[in-house]
Amino acid sequence: MTSTVLGLSGSLRGESLNTKLLCAAAALAPAGMAIEVTTLHGVPLYDGDVEVQGMPESVTTLAERIAAADAVLIVSPEYNYSLPGVLKNAIDWLSRVKPNPFAGKPLAIMGTSPGRFGTARMQYQLRHALLFTDARVLTKPEVMLGGAGQLFDAAGNLADERTAKLIRSQLDALAAAIAEMHRVKSA
């Protein structure tokens, strides 16, 4: 049976290097895994008054897609040593949805930036922001890619075999976590 992974980009930019990385991961998915590429366009700013009137449809739809997936893959830039506001905002909304769409779900993180640190600082802050969600965030291998501008060719395709190998190895770890989740659920 094919497992589904909802891939969320933390960038809204049309030419986003992180969305390109997410697309590259989707193309490198192991047999039996399908990764859907999604952005967070359309999610409004969190507002408790809006929540009281009813969850926005964009949030409900996103939560349903997460709940229906076997796992989540977040690929995000680093902004000011942290996670982009759009991503934190989406996590804030999703943390208010009942039942919790992330509960027990394997979740992997990747990111790339033009500088040397490859989103490392963002990734540890993202792990912190995800604690309350009860997602099972993978610890290894970490995919923190510096030199983002050199990773892709003119057509936007991943052009670095070492990076492809690292992505494959994280996706294999995600596949193993999905299998373990199903084993525990059916036990």
What residues line the site for ligand FMN (CB under 6 A)? 11, 13, 16-18, 77-81, 113-115, 117, 148
Q: Give the span between the Cα atoms of 184 and 32, in whole angstroms.
A: 19
Minimum gap (Å) between residue 164 Cβ and ligand FMN = 18
Minimum gap (Å) between residue 61 Cβ and ligand FMN = 23
Structure-block tokens of residue 108:
């992997």
Distance between terminal CA atoms of the chain?
18
Nearer to ligand FMN, 17 or 59 (CB): 17
Backbone angles phi, psi at 35, to 5 degrees: -105, 120
Nearer to ligand FMN, 3 or 39 (CB): 39
Nearer to ligand FMN, 13 or 128 (CB): 13
Minimum gap (Å) between residue 16 Cβ and ligand FMN = 3
Nearer to ligand FMN, 16 or 163 (CB): 16
- 25-28 — which CB contacts under 8 Å span 24+ positions? 25/73, 25/75, 25/110, 25/167, 25/171, 27/158, 28/158, 28/164, 28/167, 28/168, 28/171
Nearer to ligand FMN, 42 or 114 (CB): 114
Minimum gap (Å) between residue 157 Cβ and ligand FMN = 15
Minimum gap (Å) between residue 83 Cβ and ligand FMN = 10
Q: Cis link prior to 114 (omega < 30° from 0)? A: no
